[in-house]
Each structure stands twice: as C-alpha cells, then as structure tokens.
C-alpha cells in the first residue's frame, strides 16, 4: 500500500475541526486506512490502492471530515467552460491512445502546496496508473502555452526539447537513455516506433508522456496561478478517474475548474473533467441481511453521507427498501452495491457490531480440494517456482495476442476495456506476468492456480467455474522437454500416469504442443509458445507453458 505523508496543519484546517490526538488516531484507523504514526506536524498513513482519492491532504480531509460528521454528504464540484480544445491525433502509438485535460485557475502555490501536488501526482502514478503503465499526469503554467493543443505521435529522433531539471535540449530517444526519469520509465515505451508528445499552437513541445515534461513550459513554481492539467494513457475509465482526483484536489486548494473540449481520435469531443456523480441502486434489505442490522432508509442516508455520498430515498416499490446513491466521480472503487454496503459498515463502526455465537455447532475441517491444491503448490514452490495471482477479469484482446480464439463471457456495463471479460484460460495471464517482468533476471518460472469461466446453461448462473493450474517457464533455453518434466513431476507426486498426444494449437509452435490425458480423460495441454505470440507480449526469451484442469485431475486422483 502507498504510504502518504500529510501535513497535519493543512489537514486539520481542511477538516474544519481539531480532534485530540488519541481521538484523531482512533478515527483515522476506523476510516479504513492504516495509521503508521503521527509525529510532530506529520501524519503518516498507508492508503489502500482502491482509494486514490485519499492520497492527498485535500482528499483525505474530505473523506475524514464526512466520516466524523463535520462535513457529511456529497461534495459538489462543477467546471466552467474554458473555451479551449485539446486535439488527439491518429498519429499516436496504439499503446497510448487517450488524452484528457482541464484548466485550473486562481491557485496560490507555496513550497508546501507544490509538495502536496507533486506527492499526489506521484502517488497516483504509482497506484491508480500502475507505475505509469496505464497513464501519466502533467501540469503546466497556463501562461506559457497556447491553444489549441495537440497530442500526437512523433519519431523519437524528431522530438527535441529540454526535459525537466536537465541542462540541454535533447531528442526523445536521448531522454530515454540520458535523463534519470527517462531511464526509469523507458521500458513503458520500449518498441514503440513513435512516441506521444503534447505540442501547443506555437509548435512548442510541452512534454513526452508518460516520461517527462519540458523544463521551459512544464514546470510549476510559486509564481504559477493558473495551470493546464492533462492525463494520457491507455485506459479510458482509469484516466477519467485520475483527472477527477487531481482536479477536485486542486479545487480544494482554492482553484476554479474549467473544462476543455477533448477531441479524441474518433472525432468525438468530450468535455472534461466529468465531475457528475454516478447513480447506483442500493437494496436496503440486501444490506441489512449482510450486516445483520435493521437499518431504515434514514439510517442508511446518514451513514452514506458520513462516507461522502448523496442519497435519495426510494419510492413505495419494494416497500421503500431501495434508494439511489450518488457516487462521487473520484470514487474509483465503487463498482457494485456490495462496495456501498462495506462503506455503510465502516460508517456504522466495526466496533459497534455485536459478536454472536452461531446457534449451530459444527466441527471445522479443511476442504479436501483445497488440501489437494496446496499439495501441488507446495511441490512447485519447492522446485523454486514463484506463485502468481492475477485478475479474473481481462480484455478480449488476449485472444489476438495468443493467436487463439477462446469464447469469453463479457461483463455488462464494464467501466474498463482492460477488465471487460471473465478469463477463460490462464496462459494469457502467465504471459502477461512475464511481459511485465522482462527487466528482471532469468530464468523466470511461475505458476498460478485460479478459477476460469465459461458459458454453461446447465448451471444456475449460466456460468461454469473451473479451477485450473498454469505453469510458465521462460529462459534462453526453455523448450518442450522442460515443461514435460514439470508435468511428469506433478503426475509422479500424485501417483498418476499422464498420456500425451500431439496437439495443433495456434499459440504453440507446430509439432511442439501436446494434449494431456489421465486414464483416458483429457485434463489439459502444453507446449512451446510460438514466436508471434511471444512478440505480441513483447517477450524476447522463449517460453513454455502448460495448463491443467484441477477439478478433473482431483477426481482422477481420488479414484487412484
């Protein structure tokens, strides 16, 4: 979790109330963050990655003041029209297609205020934007640039400007090798033929996202009052959220938000930032059932307001048990009403729940299938393999990268292109992990045991969930024999005998893939990943993989 250092004086001024030290420590802890210490005028807290809105004095104070009842309810933020345009051109690299921006006016910067802004920018880059792999944020003194501004792709050698805190004008390619920040983040743009840049109406290069700003037009100081705030990257919803977090925090510093028409590559103009709250339905009966409470609508309203939401009472439908919750634009973490229930529990106070002894006596016993999975995991970790844990959600683009079409279940109303489908197999996740660790030492031997999903009308939910095991080995000499040895080690450990049959699989090199059967039942497949697939994942080392259906393997293990 990211650790944030907050200025106590600034925080308490924003909260509007000064609590005794012990009370302050108590309330911060119950808000759902990990208080490390309060030392002098500094509050050190660890903020959960799903709460990027709390990574600054302004955001943390906003949440805290509502929580203690000082300033409850939804904070209303709005944007005036600036009358400016940001034009996103089609020349951009496909890996970095989006750009949003706005203008903030009327700010007063001091050394302390600049520290707060830089900390928020950096912490958002590490958490929400995944160390800039999903996006980058830039701020510029408004008086030094002219509109309309273009966001476009350029040849790295044609890009020339003076990067932040660097003495000379150098090319984009030189920035990646000479500038400390360029070297740190060069891996993000590795392999791109063109690099993204902001260029103003006078042809001045403002920055090279997500790497670095220009020293001449992209540096704020104590004289800055009005800023141009931009965010670029590859995930539409994440970028919108990050822009909202930055804009609202700057507004809480005294700034006035002005929207900009951001013309995207498809020609669609989006007025940003979009600060309108989202509306979500809350079923109070569902909430009470999960929490063991008997909350009325008015109770729920007060508790939700203590977590910074707005709430409209439901009508006579469902006996008035439903209501509409207004979710702030900066609350990235609220995806389902279970998230609302969790916040109601926090506002109610975990210390206020009454512990009850169950009326049914049972004898606890470890699940046998869990022990089976643990047995395999212990074996693989004993061989020196590292266990991975990846998301159940992904994008349909993995089929293209794997050169293999697998039917995937699409989510209804997904907010992110990267997480819009339930995964149907594990191997793409294994290659994704390898692709994100190319700068680490080899060999890289990893495995994962997790659930995959496929359509099945025989199931109550029309979705069948299956446990699978995937193993991936990557190093300079990785080949079919190595992954076969892994299979034989697992089978020997379980006292099973695998049978192999040549398999033509579009993700594997022809003649170097096999289907795996045990006692005549197919349990999985394995092979050497073909070069095209490796290239799609930006992998230079060979890789071999296997994937096994653990549910079937477990039943065969019980029979043996």
- Give me the residue spans of the domains in the chain: 3-67, 80-272, 278-350, 368-559
Alpha-carbon torsion (420, 426, 427, 429), positive or negative: positive
Whether residue 463 contacts residue 454, with contact meaning beta carbons closer than 8 Å, is answered with yes
**In residues, how long is the chain?**
560
Residue 31 φ/ψ, nearest 5 degrees: -70, -20
Structure tokens at 393: 């959600």
Instruction: Say yes or no: do domains 3-67 and 278-350 share a fold.
Output: yes
What confidence score (pLDDT) does residue 314 get?
A: 66
How far apart are the C-alpha atoms of 506 and 503, rounded to whole Å? 10
Query: Strand pairing of 80-88 and 256-263?
Result: parallel
87-131 confidence digits (pLDDT tens): 999 999 999 999 999 999 999 999 999 999 999 999 999 999 999
Contact indicator for 535, 548 with CB cutoff of 8 Å: no
| 8 A C-beta contact, residue 519 and residue 539 | no
- Helix (H) or strand (E) segment spanning residue 248: helix 236-252
Q: Is the pLDDT of residue 318 over 90?
A: no
120-131 tens-digit pLDDT: 999 999 999 999
What is the C-alpha to C-alpha distance for residues 88 and 64, in angstroms, rounded to an integer?
38
pLDDT score at 315:
59
User: Looking at 234-321, which runs of residues are DSSP E strands?
Assistant: 256-263, 269-272, 278-283, 310-312
- Torsion angle in degrees (nearest 10) through CA of 363, 364, 368, 372: -150
Of all residues in the chain, the percent with pLDDT exceeding 70 is 99
**What pLDDT sits at residue 316?**
52
Element (H, E) at 462: none
Look at residue 272 in the predicted model and tell me its pLDDT: 96
> How far, in Å, CA of 298 to CA of 164, rounded?
53
Q: What backbone torsions phi and psi does residue 255 show, to the nearest 5 degrees?
A: -80, 160
pLDDT tier at 363 (50, 70, 90 boundaries)? confident
Q: What is the mean pLDDT of residues 496-521?
A: 95
pLDDT digits (tens, 9 = 90+) for 524-556: 999 999 999 999 999 999 999 999 999 999 999
The predicted model gives 384-401 an average pLDDT of 92
Mean pLDDT value across residues 316-327: 75
In order of 264, 496, 499, the CA distances from 493 in angstroms are 56, 8, 16
- Apex CA 11: angle with CA 331 and CA 130, to 5°? 40
Q: Where are the beta strands (DSSP E) in 42-79?
A: 42-46
Contact 539, 475 (CB under 8 A): no
- Both tokens of 94, joined, read 């496909």
pLDDT-derived band at 362 (thresholds 50, 70, 90) equals confident
* Topology given in CATH for the domain delimited by 80-272: Phenylalanyl-tRNA Synthetase; Chain B, domain 3 (3.50.40)
pLDDT at residue 340 in the model: 96
End-to-end CA distance of the chain: 45
CA-to-CA distance for 376 and 152, rounded, in angstroms?
50
What's the pLDDT score for residue 48?
A: 86
- Which tokens in the block code for residue 140? 């510029």
CA nearest 31: which of 328, 307, 252, 290? Answer: 307
Helix (H, G, I), strand (E, B) or coil at 117: helix
d(CA 219, CA 432): 35
Span 361-389, average pLDDT: 93
Q: What is the pLDDT of residues 15-57, one digit of tens each?
A: 999 999 999 999 999 987 889 999 999 999 999 888 999 999 9
**Mean pLDDT lowest for which of 197-206, 350-359, 442-451, 461-470?**
350-359
Beta strands in 373-492 (DSSP E): 386-387, 393-394, 409-410, 421-422, 444-455, 463-474
In tens, the pLDDT along 170-217 reads 999 999 999 999 999 999 999 999 999 999 999 999 999 999 999 999
Contacts of 413 (CB under 8 A, 6+ apart): none
Thinking of the domain 278-350, which architecture would CATH place it in?
A: 2-Layer Sandwich (3.30)
Q: Which two tokens stand for residue 132?
A: 């800039």
User: For residue 433, what pLDDT is reported?
Assistant: 96
Q: Is the pLDDT of residue 319 over 60?
A: no
| pLDDT-derived band at 359, boundaries 50, 70, 90 | confident
Task: Find tokens 């920055």 and name the residue.
Answer: 207
Percent with pLDDT over 90 in the chain: 87
Confidence of residue 485 (pLDDT cuts 50, 70, 90): very high
Does domain 368-559 fall into CATH 3.30.930.10?
A: yes
Nearest to 54 by CA among 259, 328, 275: 328
Which H or E run includes 549? strand 543-549
The whole-chain average pLDDT of the chain stands at: 94
Each residue of 347-385: b (16+ CB within 10 Å) or e? bbeeeeeeeeeeeeeeeeeeeeeeebbeebbebbeeeeb
Instruction: Report the alpha-carbon distance of residue 222 to residue 226 in Å, rounded.
Output: 11
Fold designation for 3-67: Phenylalanyl-tRNA Synthetase; Chain B, domain 1 (3.30.56)
pTM: 0.73
């Amino acid at each position: 979790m990211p650790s944030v250092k907050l200025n106590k004086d600034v925080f308490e001024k924003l909260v509007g109330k000064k609590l005794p030290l012990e009370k302050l420590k108590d309330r911060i802890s119950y808000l759902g963050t990990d208080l490390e210490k309060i030392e002098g005028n500094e509050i050190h807290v660890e903020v959960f990655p799903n709460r990027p809105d709390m990574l600054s004095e302004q955001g943390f104070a906003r949440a805290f003041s509502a929580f203690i009842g000082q300033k409850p309810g939804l904070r209303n933020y709005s944007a005036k029209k600036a009358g400016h345009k940001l034009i996103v051109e089609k020349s951009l690299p496909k890996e970095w297609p989006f750009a949003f921006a706005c203008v903030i006016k009327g700010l007063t910067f001091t050394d302390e205020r600049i520290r707060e802004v830089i900390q928020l920018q950096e912490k958002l880059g590490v958490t929400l934007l995944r160390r800039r792999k999903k996006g980058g944020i830039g701020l510029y003194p408004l008086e030094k640039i002219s509109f309309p501004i273009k966001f476009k792709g350029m040849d790295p050698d044609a890009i020339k400007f003076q990067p932040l805190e660097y003495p000379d004008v150098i090319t984009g390619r030189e920035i990646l090798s000479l500038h400390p920040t360029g070297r740190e983040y060069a891996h993000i743009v590795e392999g791109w033929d063109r690099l993204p840049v902001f260029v103003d109406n006078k042809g001045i290069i403002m920055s090279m996202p997500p790497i670095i700003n220009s020293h001449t037009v992209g540096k704020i100081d104590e004289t800055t009052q009005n800023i141009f705030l931009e965010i670029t990257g590859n995930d539409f919803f994440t970028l919108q959220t990050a822009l909202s977090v930055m804009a609202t925090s700057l507004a809480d510093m005294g700034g006035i938000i002005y929207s900009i028409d951001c013309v995207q590559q498809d020609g669609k103009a989006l007025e940003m930032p979009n600060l309108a709250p989202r509306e979500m339905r809350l079923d109070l009966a569902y909430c009470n059932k999960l929490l063991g409470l008997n909350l009325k609508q008015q109770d729920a309203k007060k508790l939700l307001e203590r977590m910074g939401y707005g709430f409209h009472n439901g009508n006579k439908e469902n006996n008035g048990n439903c209501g509409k919750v207004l979710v702030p634009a900066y609350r990235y973490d609220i995806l389902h009403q279970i998230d609302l229930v969790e916040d109601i529990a926090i506002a109610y106070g975990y210390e206020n729940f009454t512990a009850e002894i169950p009326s049914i006596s049972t004898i606890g016993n470890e699940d046998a299938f869990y022990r089976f999975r643990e047995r395999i995991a212990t074996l693989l970790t004993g061989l020196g393999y590292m266990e991975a844990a990846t998301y159940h959600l992904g994008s349909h683009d993995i089929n293209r990268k794997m050169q293999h079409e697998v039917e995937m279940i699409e989510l209804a109303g997904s907010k992110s292109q990267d997480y819009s489908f339930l995964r149907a197999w594990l191997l793409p996740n294994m290659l994704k992990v390898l692709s994100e660790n190319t700068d680490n030492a080899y060999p890289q031997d990893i495995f994962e045991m997790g659930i995959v999903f496929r359509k099945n009308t025989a199931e109550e939910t029309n979705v069948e969930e299956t446990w699978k095991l995937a193993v991936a080995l990557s190093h300079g000499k990785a080949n079919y024999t190595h992954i076969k040895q892994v299979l034989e080690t697992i089978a020997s450990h379980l006292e099973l005998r695998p049978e192999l049959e040549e398999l033509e699989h579009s993700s594997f090199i022809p003649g170097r893939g096999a289907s795996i059967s045990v006692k005549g039942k197919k349990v999985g497949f394995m092979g050497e990943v073909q070069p095209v697939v490796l290239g799609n994942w930006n992998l230079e080392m060979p890789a071999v993989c296997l994937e096994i259906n653990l549910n079937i393997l477990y039943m065969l293990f019980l029979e043996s």
